[in-house]
Amino acid sequence: MLHAFPELIKKDLLNRAAQLSVAQLCDGMKELNIPNYGCICAEINAINPAMKMVGTAATVETENGDNFPIHIATYAIPCDGYVMVIDGKSYPHKSYIGDLIMGAAQAAGYAGIVIDGYSRDRQGTIELEFPVYSRGLHPAGPIKNNPGEINTTIQCGGVTVNPGDLVVGDYDGVCVVPKERIEEVLLKAEAKKDYEDKRESAIAIYKAAKLKSEPLPELAPDWVLKLL
């Protein structure tokens, strides 16, 4: 059954999220004690790790390798900017998506697809330059029977996903930030990025000093020194 698409996340929040890694966002959610940290399970990986994905969640629930609901969601999208997040119940015997439906979703305006299930057509996926995250590859094609549920609360890779949540994917995997907590998660993640930037600078300074046989600055971060 098709339900209304959620409101898109504001562009300024999406732009901020695009400057952060999935790991930094997961660390932000961990610090805020958000259940499961919003990090989708490690078994769901990027087909092309070079791609990054940021967008508003539009959800699909289906099962048994049935991709009819995915087609419905593809052609019903009202505007660009959604990420299709699919609860395929980890079905192992068929692929839900291949490069044809991926290409249609890309043309319709989706920013990427995340599926708790299998995909196929790895080479075609890479050539599309379209972010896709799945449990892996399976050559067997899908069936097309039931309409499923579109834009309802789902589970994907151990994480609850609501329509309108923030979805970010990169080389490490995918995270889902609850829509009502995006601002506070971004603030925490940005603080983590700032810390990491400073640590990278400190490590570079240490390496340069060592190369020149100069006195070495302290390498360990303050939090380590305090715990010693």
Q: What is the pLDDT of residues 136-148, one digit of tens each?
A: 999 999 999 999 9
For the segment 7-12, the average pLDDT, to the nearest whole number, is 98
At residue 225, the pLDDT reads: 83
179 confidence band (pLDDT: 50, 70, 90): very high
Domain edges within the chain: 11-181, 187-227
pLDDT tens profile 35-59? 767 899 999 999 999 999 999 999 9
At residue 156, the pLDDT reads: 97
CATH of 11-181, one of 3.30.70.20, 3.30.1330.10, 3.10.180.10, 3.50.30.40: 3.50.30.40
For the segment 150-179, the average pLDDT, to the nearest whole number, is 97
Do 135 and 117 meet the contact criterion of CB atoms below 8 Å apart? yes
At residue 149, the pLDDT reads: 97
Cβ contacts of 216 within 8 Å, gap of 6 or more: 206, 209, 210
At residue 226, the pLDDT reads: 86
Report yes or no on whether pTM surpasses 0.85: yes
What does the mean pLDDT of the chain come to?
Answer: 96
At residue 223, the pLDDT reads: 87
At residue 143, the pLDDT reads: 95
Give bridge partners of residue 177 from the DSSP assignment: 166
At residue 35, the pLDDT reads: 74
Distance CA 38, CA 26 (A): 7
